[in-house]
Amino acid sequence: MPTSPNPTRASPPAQGPALAPASSHEGRARGAPAPRIRGTTSIIAHLGDPIAPVKAPMIYNPWFAQHGVDAVVVPMGVTAADYARVLPAVFSFTNICGALITMPHKVTTVAMLAEASLAVRIAGSCNAVIRRADGALAGDLFDGAGFTRAARGKGVTIAGRRALVVGTGGVGRAIAAALAAEGIGALRLHDLDAASAAELAARIRTHYPHIAIECGAPDPAGMDIVVNATPVGMRPGDPLPLDATRIAAGTFVGEVVMAAAKTPLLAAAEARGCTIQPGTDMLFEQIPLYLAYFGLPSATAAELRAVAQLDT
């Protein structure tokens, strides 16, 4: 599979439909303009299974409507059995701007790409796809970059620091790759599947041989950055993913769990004097990266939050 000449992102998408301004007399929902779909509208497919839990349409679409961007995110439920046929078919549509890829398709998408970013190659998963000018598919991965953008926005320094990433599934791999790209000095990976952590460590060493990387226990002692990249904390009564009593004051502690604004891990870390980051921060900070990748107007995370229509 050819690789991207730019390690942080793939080639820009082929020229898509022109973005016409939205009508000034659109209806409003919760004070924001309602999306208006017409023949000129650029479509972003959101592919996954199950598709009901996805939140992207409630973030992107209100922002598109308010800012007059003639584009819409359309959730599309696609089973794993059908995915290999559906993804190429979706990109045969002339008004497709790009695709958001969610579970369970992030890993299987990689083999369908003609061009992949370094983040995709390290993590072995992809969450954004575009069609190149030659018709081939290119892909990138923004989960990890969203996490590190959010952290930097809180004043966190990544370069030269020590980090612990607990969980080396899809999102944990993305975060580890992003930390490596931003110059993390030392990285410890932990997963209940030791082979998964070892495989990720080997991929990171290949591209970032200067990083001191190890697989080991989920011990946060001595770490500057601690990341819970597991689902632990999603359900009431879940145990902590690590021993919070060993987190030093001043450590940056981040979550990927979005079920609660403050998980038990984040509450424990905050009580110890740590800077904390909920999972939704990663979500909002990666959307500007998607917009740029799809060739759409830019937005800040704050602007997106202001109009998002997420269920509460």
What share of the chain in percent tops pLDDT 90?
78
Instruction: Evaluate the omega torsion of the peptide bond into residue 104 and state whether it is cis, within 30 degrees of 0.
Output: yes
51 pLDDT above the threshold of 70: yes
pLDDT tens digits, 149-173: 999 999 999 999 999 999 998 899 9
76 pLDDT above the threshold of 60: yes
The H helix count followed by the E strand count for the chain is 10, 14
Q: What residues have CB less than 8 Å from 143, skipping those under 6 apart?
A: 127, 170, 171, 174, 175, 178, 282, 286
21 pLDDT above the threshold of 80: no
Average pLDDT over residues 241-270: 93
Under a CB-based contact definition with an 8 Å cutoff, are residues 285 and 149 in contact? yes
Dmax (CA) for the chain in angstroms is 58
Kindly indicate the confidence band of residue 26, based on its pLDDT and cuts at 50, 70 and 90: very low
Kindly indicate the confidence band of residue 32, based on its pLDDT and cuts at 50, 70 and 90: low
Under a CB-based contact definition with an 8 Å cutoff, are residues 182 and 243 in contact? no
* pTM of this structure: 0.84
Residue 54, pLDDT score: 85
Residue 19, pLDDT score: 43
Kindly indicate the confidence band of residue 92, based on its pLDDT and cuts at 50, 70 and 90: very high
